[in-house]
Amino acid sequence: MLLANLAMEATGPVCFRNQPVPQELVLELLNHAVWAPNDGLREPWRFIFVDHRNADRMVGLQEPAPAYLIVVMKEEADRYKREEDFAAVSCLMQNLELLAPEKGLGIRRTLNEWRYDRQRAGTFGVLGNEWIAGVLELGYAEQVPGRPAADSRPELRFELL
């Protein structure tokens, strides 16, 4: 499989089937996705899995999905480490998005405003020295007619100096 094709498959689905996402599957994918670059091997991430039994806690915060993965990051005092850690966590989320289609799983990555609300984040178990780097909506993709074709990507523009 070509990486370019894989990247197009990994774009989040429009909607999900009403089918539970097994925690074991998410753990299996995470065990591969954690191979993300990070100086000093700090591995600054932690994961909070919200499955279909607790999805009602996400109503009004996220779009409906069979499961959610809250990706939490340790908040470093050192700005350099904090930025590097966020880059590593972003790579991890991208790795997960690239791996998921192999198992038929779709992922929508979100960065909604509520993630900055410390009190609300605390209700999900986010600690005082952590913040939410992203919330992944997980599910098995529903086939949606009329979805834009992979060829409809925007044209990239750049200048050579």
Backbone φ, ψ for residue 102 (5° rounding): -60, -30
Please report which confidence band the pLDDT of residue 147 belongs to, taking 50, 70 and 90 as the band edges: very low
Distance CA 157, CA 23 (A): 41
Sorted by where each starts, the structural domains of the chain and their CATH numbers stand as 17-141 (3.40.109.10)
* pLDDT value at residue 13: 66
Distance CA 123, CA 152 (A): 40
* pLDDT value at residue 47: 97
Q: What is the mean pLDDT of residues 92-118?
A: 92
